[in-house]
Amino acid sequence: MKKMIWIIVALVVGGYFVNSYLENKAKREAEQAEIERIEQATKSAVAQMVSQTGAIEDWESRLSKGKEFRFEPILTVELERLWLQNRPILFVGSIRDIATQDQSHYTIIVERSLFSSLEHIFSSELELSLVSNKEQIDTFLKKYPNLFTDYGLDNNGVAVIAHISAIRTVYFTGDEGDREEIKIGDGELIDIMYTGDIYF
């Protein structure tokens, strides 16, 4: 009789753990499916934004010369050939700063982080300095009020469509005392979309 009780207890405990495992597995699979759905929807929305504006989206692959990593410096003339076109460009990064330019416009700084794209990684820093309609940015920030809450934790990504009119270089001293540079594209913001922590 005692042996039968222990068998029943073992079956109940085993059944609990199996059921718990299956529930957790189903939950993880559902969460992963939702992550993949959001990622696909976001990338499709960005692709639609590119299609609607006729933006250049392959400048990173052309700049990387077919390599995943490019460690040599980027020359300004290379960016001129890719960015200074009649068409706007797609730029994926994060908002670093927003400043008032005049009563109806902001200047928004968008930086390309090292891992903005896992397919194309550059040692040179790239940024855009864009004039934007205040209403457009205020509406965007109202829609995403927590955009800067966890700044630096890779969940504040944006994709922007911008028309670039000039390129300049800013020099600064790095952490180890080396001279470093940032290539900055000056222009006008056409459209912006929140991408969160999705890599392109």
Q: What is the CATH number of the domain that holds 184?
A: 2.40.50
Residues 85 and 20 in one domain: no
Q: What is the pLDDT of residue 9?
A: 59
Number of domains in the chain: 2
Same domain, 119 and 147: yes
Residues 109 and 70 in one domain: yes
| Total-model pTM | 0.80
How confident is the prediction for the chain on average, in pLDDT?
A: 84
Structure tokens at 156: 């504040």
Looking at the fold, whether 113 and 178 belong to one and the same domain comes out as yes
Question: What DSSP state is assigned to residue 140?
Answer: H
Cα–Cα distance list, 127 to 43, 110, 146, 162, 182 (Å): 21, 6, 22, 12, 7
User: Over the stretch 9-57, which tens digit does the pLDDT of each residue have?
Assistant: 556 666 666 666 556 666 776 777 777 888 888 899 999 999 999 999 9
Per-residue pLDDT, averaged over 4-11, amounts to 63
- Give the mean pLDDT of 62-83: 90
Q: Is there a contact between 188 and 91 (Cβ–Cβ < 8 Å)?
A: no
Q: Which amino acid is at 95?
A: I
Tell me the per-residue pLDDT of 156-170, one tens digit each, with 9 for 90 and over.
Answer: 889 999 999 999 999
Six-digit token string for 63: 């700049």
- Same domain membership, residue 111 and residue 42: no
User: Which pLDDT value is given to residue 196?
Assistant: 86
Domain ranges, residue 79: 56-196
My answer on whether 108 and 66 are in the same domain is yes
Round to whole Å and give the CA distance between 113 and 168: 18
Say which residues have a Cβ less than 8 Å from residue 169's Cβ, sequence separation at least 6: 76, 181, 182, 183, 184
Give per-residue pLDDT as tens, 125-151: 899 999 999 999 999 999 998 887 755
Task: Give the span between the Cα atoms of 91 and 80, in whole angstroms.
Answer: 15
Query: Between 109 and 147, where is the model more confident?
Result: 109
Is residue 26 located within the same domain as residue 73?
no
Same domain, 134 and 159: yes
Domain shared by 108 and 119, yes or no:
yes
Indicate if 141 and 182 belong to the same structural domain: yes
**Does one domain contain both 14 and 74?**
no
Verify that 49 and 60 share a domain, yes or no: no
pLDDT confidence tier of residue 114, bands split at 50, 70 and 90 = low
The angle subtended at Cα 140 by Cα 47 and Cα 31, nearest 5°, is 60
Q: Work out the number of other CB atoms within 10 angstroms of the CB of residue 107.
A: 16
Is the predicted pLDDT of residue 97 greater than 60, yes or no? yes
Q: Which of 38, 53, 68 is the last residue of a domain?
A: 53
Q: Residue 108 in contact with residue 95, Cβ under 8 Å?
A: yes
| Identity at 26, one-letter amino acid code | A
CA 38 remoteness from chain centre: 14
